[in-house]
Amino acid sequence: MSDTNELRTLYRQLLQAWNDRKASAMAECFSSDGVMIGFDGSLAEGNAAIGDHLAPIFADHPTAAFVAIIRSMRRFGSGGILVADVGMVPPGDTEINPAANARQTMVAGERSGRWQVELFQNTPAALHWDEEGRRALSAELNAALAERGPLPV
């Protein structure tokens, strides 16, 4: 495997679980003491708490699917960091909702031969003082969605 293939594979599993609306599958991507910081700043610590946090969201809300563009990946020691830009495609729509664009950071590590998320943060990409950048990011995410669908390559 390449130096970063494990990061890409784990990130893809994480987003696939979100897009499939499967709280338990998403929680399984995290270590037992992993941390998830949501778009709204919500915090869940530990994979059990992450599953408990996500279950009612998926049960009560028609969540949008992520489309992602991985911007960088790097390894360090037995772990790594992945940074991506994401958009969200509301159910029934064919384009992203620009107001939901975000930057995601995933810090992951290998424990007992298995890669797990240690920290996942989803930060709004509001780009308040960069209207051109906001439009360009949305256009790039819509192009990625049209070209390959909602998951990272």
Query: Considering the domain boundaries, does residue 153 fall inside one?
Result: no
> pLDDT for 31-47, tens place per residue?
999 999 998 999 999 99
3-state DSSP assignment of residue 135? helix
- What is the model's pTM? 0.93
Residue 23 belongs to some domain of the structure = yes
Is 103's pLDDT higher than 60? yes
Cα–Cα distance between 114 and 126 in angstroms, integer?
34
Instruction: State yes or no: pLDDT of 153 exceeds 60.
Output: no
CATH number at residue 122: 3.10.450.50
Q: What is the largest CA-CA distance in the chain?
A: 45
**For the residues 87-100, what does the mean pLDDT come to?**
94
Q: Is residue 78 part of a domain?
A: yes
- Number of domains making up the chain: 1
Domain that holds residue 78: 5-148
Cα 31 to chain centroid, rounded: 16
Helix (H, G, I), strand (E, B) or coil at 24: helix
pLDDT digits (tens, 9 = 90+) for 7-63: 999 999 999 999 999 999 999 999 999 999 998 999 999 999 999 999 999 999 899
Residue 1, pLDDT score: 40
Angle in degrees, CA 97, 107, 5, rounded to 5: 90
Bridge partners (DSSP) listed for residue 102: 86, 124
